[in-house]
């Protein structure tokens, strides 16, 4: 089931070094790119159907097309390598094993959108990864692929790595921009969208690492070759991270559209220790959980996930076996999002705090049915009432556990509440 497009060089020894990477085709698309008109590059990427791999799945070429023309202002590219959504661990493979495909992608994108300055925003925790990335960028400068004349063409491009320092919210694109500008990562109100007024008030495109690293293949082989993988509306391949209770957790590149359960069984070795499946988180911790019964008809693409009232997200699949206590799991999730709230909006800053207090009360055995229902009500009252979607990233999954595993919450409060015994 696995394919090797993005991960083609992952198994090659020293592919992170420019000499080895070049022997295997790195930077070979540049002459072709510079011979094209920038708008034709955008058109090609549009035709490939490549969608943003950060989680939202917005078509990359369409996003580039939102840049206003002739503003006289510089255009910036920000590469989002914040990768902080729990269960997401795909981009760091690119950063460490094949950084030159991303740098080549940055050159392609920069040429297409007319940008001469790229900032790669990498999460602070990626200590070893940032060193590997910086070393690759230094090599690219030395070899003339970055700097005043990119690969000998009349095109200037600087790439700067900007390290975050432990804030999940900086994966949100406007919080990321705030952070590059030197402030705390508090998301901006939109509109204006970054394409119009982004970094330093200038037109800015923000793309995920994997999106950018997908570009060389598309340029080299054409839109149809990319569309040969995946489904009609979700073309291409994706680096899926499978974690939790499976025999073979890890990162696997797969075409989009494969059946979820088959992937868990055949690629990830199935539920570990011969246990039964209890639930699947399909695309990072913020995506609503799927019951085994629901998962039967799910395929790994944006459309199927939406049909099943969940999300494709970042492709971070978490498998939960029969031993998982869903009330504890929900506490773990709320803890995370509450800790990571930037504090800007009251419903998120205070609301997630209240959710944490309530789930702790339920877990301690002091809760009643009122608490279970209040937790559910809070989800509805917090969601979509904040500047960014961090709060929804907490309430959406929590609501799904409350609805699909309600009996487990009820069981915790039964001894205090006779009405709960009936509700059970």
Q: Based on the shown chain and the rule CB under 8 A, indicate whether residue 147 belongs to the binding site for other proteins.
A: no
Q: Is 53 in the site for other proteins (CB under 8 A)?
A: no
Q: Which of 64, 168, 217, 302 binds other proteins (CB under 8 A)?
A: 168
Question: Which range binds other proteins by CB under 8 A, 30-38, 176-184, 189-197, 366-374?
Answer: 176-184
Pick from 34, 77, 83, 413 the residue near other proteins by CB under 8 A: 83
Residue (82 or 301) nearer to other proteins, CB: 82
Binding of other proteins at residue 283 (CB under 8 A)? no
Burial class (CB in 10 A: 0-12, 13-18, 19+), 364: exposed
Q: How far is residue 371 from each of residues 122, 187, 301, 358, 403, measured CA to CA in Å?
A: 39, 31, 36, 6, 14
**Does the footprint of other proteins cover residue 200 (CB under 8 A)?**
yes
Q: Are 408 and 327 in contact (CB under 8 A)?
A: yes
Of residues 327 through 346, those in contact with other proteins by CB under 8 A are: 329, 332-333, 335-336, 339-340, 342
In this structure, are residues 156 and 139 in contact, taking their beta carbons and an 8 Å threshold? no
Q: Is 125 in the site for other proteins (CB under 8 A)?
A: yes
Q: Least separation, in Å, of the C-beta of 316 and other proteins? A: 7
What is 336-396 written as a DSSP string?
Answer: HHHHH--S-SHHHHTHHHHHHHHHHHHHHT---HHHHHHHHHHHHHHTT-SSSSHHHHHHH
**282 binds other proteins, rule: CB under 8 A:** no
Residue 353 found at the interface with other proteins (CB under 8 A): no
Choice between 35 and 273, CB closer to other proteins: 273
Of the candidate residues 86, 187, 255, 257, the single one contacting other proteins (CB under 8 A) = 86
Provide the minimum distance between the beta carbon of 34 and other proteins in the complex, in angstroms, as a whole number.
Answer: 24
Spatial CA neighbour of 343 closest among 398, 388, 392:
388
Residue with tokens 């020894």: 13
Q: Is 99 in the site for other proteins (CB under 8 A)?
A: no
Q: Are 96 and 132 in contact (CB under 8 A)?
A: yes
Q: Out of 92, 100, 308, 399, name the contact with other proteins by CB under 8 A.
A: 92
Sign of the C-alpha dihedral computed for residues 361, 387, 171 and 6 taken in this order: positive
CA–CA distance from 398 to each of 124, 160, 357 (Å)? 28, 38, 14
Q: Give the separation between CA 157 and CA 176, rounded to whole angstroms.
A: 21
What value does the CA radius of gyration of the chain take, rounded to a whole number of Å? Answer: 22
Q: Which of 51, 53, 63, 162 binds other proteins (CB under 8 A)?
A: 162
CA 47/CA 37 separation, integer angstroms? 15
Q: By CB under 8 A, tell whether 80 contacts other proteins.
A: no
> How many angstroms separate the Cα of 396 from the Cα of each of 136, 199, 379, 390, 403?
39, 30, 7, 10, 11
| Residue 411 near residue 403, CB atoms below 8 Å | no
Residue (84 or 208) nearer to other proteins, CB? 84
Question: Binding pattern to other proteins, positions 210-249, x when CB under 8 A?
Answer: -------------------------------xxxxx---x
Main-chain phi, psi angles of 240, to 5 degrees: -95, 135
Stretch that binds other proteins, among 11-19, 87-95, 97-105, 354-362 (CB under 8 A): 87-95
Which residues of the shown chain bind other proteins in the complex (CB under 8 A)?
74, 83-89, 92, 117, 123-128, 158, 160, 162-168, 179-185, 200, 241-245, 249-251, 281, 285, 316, 318, 320, 324, 329, 332-333, 335-336, 339-340, 342
């Amino acid at each position: 089931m696995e394919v090797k497009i993005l991960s083609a060089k992952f198994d090659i020894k020293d592919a992170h070094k420019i000499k080895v990477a070049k022997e295997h085709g790195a930077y070979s698309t540049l002459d072709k790119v510079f011979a094209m008109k920038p708008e034709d590059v955008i058109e090609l990427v549009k035709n490939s159907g490549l969608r943003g791999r950060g989680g939202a799945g917005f078509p990359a070429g369409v996003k580039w097309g939102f840049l206003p023309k002739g503003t006289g202002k510089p255009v910036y590219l920000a590469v989002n390598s914040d990768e902080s959504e729990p269960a997401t661990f795909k981009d760091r493979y690119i950063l460490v094993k094949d950084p030159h495909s991303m740098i080549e992608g940055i050159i392609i994108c920069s040429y297409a959108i007319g940008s001469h300055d790229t900032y790669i925003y990498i999460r602070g925790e990626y200590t070893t990864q940032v060193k590997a990335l910086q070393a690759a960028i230094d090599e690219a400068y030395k070899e003339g692929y970055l700097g005043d004349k990119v690969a000998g063409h009349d095109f200037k491009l600087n790439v700067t790595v900007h390290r975050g320092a432990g804030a999940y919210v900086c994966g949100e694109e406007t919080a990321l921009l705030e952070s590059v500008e030197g402030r705390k990562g508090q998301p901006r109100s939109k509109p204006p969208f970054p394409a119009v007024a982004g970094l330093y008030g200038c037109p800015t495109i923000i793309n995920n690492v994997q999106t950018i690293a997908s570009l060389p293949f598309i340029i080299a082989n054409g839109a149809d070759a990319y569309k040969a993988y995946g489904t009609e509306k979700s073309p291409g391949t994706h680096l899926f991270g499978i974690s939790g209770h499976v025999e073979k957790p890890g990162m696997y590149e797969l075409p989009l559209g494969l059946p979820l359960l088959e992937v868990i069984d055949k690629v990830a070795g199935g539920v570990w220790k011969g246990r039964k499946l209890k639930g699947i988180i399909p695309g990072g911790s913020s995506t609503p959980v799927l019951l085994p019964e629901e998962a039967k008809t799910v395929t790994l693409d944006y459309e199927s996930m939406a049909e099943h009232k969940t999300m494709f997200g970042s492709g971070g699949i978490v498998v939960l076996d029969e031993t998982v206590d869903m009330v504890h799991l929900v506490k773990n999730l709320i803890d995370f999002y509450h800790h990571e709230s930037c504090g800007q909006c009251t419903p998120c800053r205070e609301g997630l705090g209240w959710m944490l207090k309530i789930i702790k009360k339920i877990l301690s055995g002091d809760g009643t049915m009122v608490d279970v229902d209040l937790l559910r009500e809070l989800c509805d009252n917090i969601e979509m009432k904040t500047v960014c979607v961090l709060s929804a990233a907490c309430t959406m999954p929590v609501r799904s556990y409350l609805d699909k595993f309600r009996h487990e919450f009820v069981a915790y409060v039964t001894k205090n509440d006779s009405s709960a015994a009936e509700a059970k």
